[in-house]
Amino acid sequence: MAAGGSCDFDLPCESVTIQSSLTASASDSCPSAFGALSGGFCLRITVIGCGYVGLVTGACLAEAGHEVVCSDIDGARIAQLQAGRMPIFELHLEEILASTRKAGRISFTPDAGEAIRGSETIFICVGTPPRESGEADLSAIDHVARQIATEARSPKLVIEKSTVPALTGIELRRAITAYTRNGDLSFRVASNPEFL
């Protein structure tokens, strides 16, 4: 996979950025303090998966001023985060989450459908453990693709951030298209590989 990520739609990958892809749909409901951070541009972002990759991604996006909702299949983890307790250790993460929660820029829900419906951009940060064969188990990615396709009511930019083989973005887009109930919705898919 290229260091700059990959995409599967008809634009050069270098020209695909979150801001340029969604400038026209930026949320008017993002916290007003955000204006000082980026001239008023704000996205409603869902992060699915609250492990190391997802929680750090969500915290950093919220710190940058975006409105972030994090969701996870593990209800106990979500309850821990809602109570202000950390399920993982990452230097400074606890302080960043505390300040962004206080500012109203990050929240946590076990209801992925609600999070998907309320966002413009979705980061997929779920586990892809190796199978006995050594290949990545992409069943969690497929599960999230199905959730996005069935819950979305508006166009979405779906960003795959999990550790996956090359060309997974193409398969993700095919899966979302196959599972979608509304043929009028458009989904853009991009890859933003994790760098731990």
Domain count, the chain: 1
Contact 54, 81 (CB under 8 A): no
d(CA 160, CA 5): 10
38 inside domain: yes
170 inside domain: yes
pLDDT by residue (tens digit) across 122-144?
Answer: 999 999 999 999 999 999 999 99
* CATH number of domain containing 72: 3.40.50.720
- Domain of residue 48 covers 26-128+141-191
Q: Left (φ > 0), alpha (ψ -120 to 50) or beta: where does 167 sit?
A: left
pLDDT by residue (tens digit) across 43-71?
Answer: 999 999 999 999 999 999 999 999 999 99
Mean pLDDT by 10 residues, the chain (196 residues): 38 35 44 50 94 96 96 97 94 96 97 97 96 94 96 96 91 93 88 77
Contact 72, 79 (CB under 8 A): no
9 inside domain: no
63 inside domain: yes
5 inside domain: no
90 inside domain: yes
136 inside domain: no
1 inside domain: no
